[in-house]
Structure 1
Amino acid sequence: MGETPDQLTQDIEQTRGRLGDHLDELQDKVSPTAIAGRQKDAAKSRIMGVRDKAMGTARSAGDSTPSASEAADSARQQVAGAPIAAGVVAFGLGMLAAALVPASRAEQKTATQVKDAVQEHAQPLMDDAKQAAGEAAEHLKGSAAESVQQVKDSASDSAQQVKDSASDSAQQVKDSGPTPTR
């Protein structure tokens, strides 16, 4: 623990630097562009190796690119050991294809039928909900009217009691007569 604040700050900065380097390496490993580039380079290298063996020629920078069937075979070999990567790639391609292809007439017709069926089945539920809300409102309206009447009656009774009490007090003062003065 005998580290000074300056040493701790320096250690933190070094750790941040290493962490940044590790994150950059990790991003390069999982970046789809980098993965595709590595696979392309590996496929090209394998094809060049096969070609060199078959033709006995030296490799050069201007060699032709592989045919589509060779590239597909190479891609299959690349993902053969990585089923998750193959699944992710296939899923991505499927999503891309689905986004690019417009809905067919059969899909549009089915979607319309589903929409109509949902509306047909939802309408009775909506009607029931409206009826229940109306009944609840009527019940609350009646309860509210009763409560208002009770408050009015209570206020009227209280006012009458105050009036009667005031009259009784006034009568008692009158009955006691004037107080004798000395």
Structure 2
Amino acid sequence: MGQSTEELRSEIEQTRQSMTADVDALQDRVSPSAIVERRKQAARSRVQGVRDKVMGSAHGVSSSASGTAGSARDSAGGAVDSVKGTAQGAVSGAQDKVQGAPLAAGLVAFGAGMIVSALIPASEKEAVAAGHVVDAAKEHGQPVVDQARSVAQDVADSVKGTAAEAAQEVKDTATDSADKVRSEGQSGVDEVRSQTRS
């Protein structure tokens, strides 16, 4: 009992302050609003990082990613280190190729989206909706198809009739011309014969 009352009070006050700080930190850590705020901030920073990478100004993000990767590498085992290093190298190489090229990044994202959408099977609602669209297209498209067939048949008949008439005219003209040439040729022959006899 070598401590005085003042020393005990001072220790109790320090313990109380320490516990208050710990309780406040714990409360902040498990508070739903604080959790949501931390998640929002993390999402914002990820989006900002991607935007910086795509638009070409990613120096700060690269250095923070390198620092995070370095600390992760220091704390992990040897096999995990090599896998992380390989994956990081691949990601870094892809980021370097896409950095500053928003069109290329957009095309890559579009292609990745197409691949992912092809891998995900259609839901029942999507299949039903697609069936309704096909049925509606058949229902509304059939009169148009029938009308197009009718118009095409009318055009074909008209062209066929016109072509037959034109062919007959050409045939008649050719026959008339042949007769005229024959008669003129015959009269020419007759004239030459009469001139030779005289």
Task: Tell me the TM-score normalized by structure 1.
Answer: 0.46
- More relative contact order, 1 or 2 (CA 8 Å, 6+ apart): 2
Name the structure where helix makes up a greater proportion of residues.
2
TM-score (norm 2): 0.43
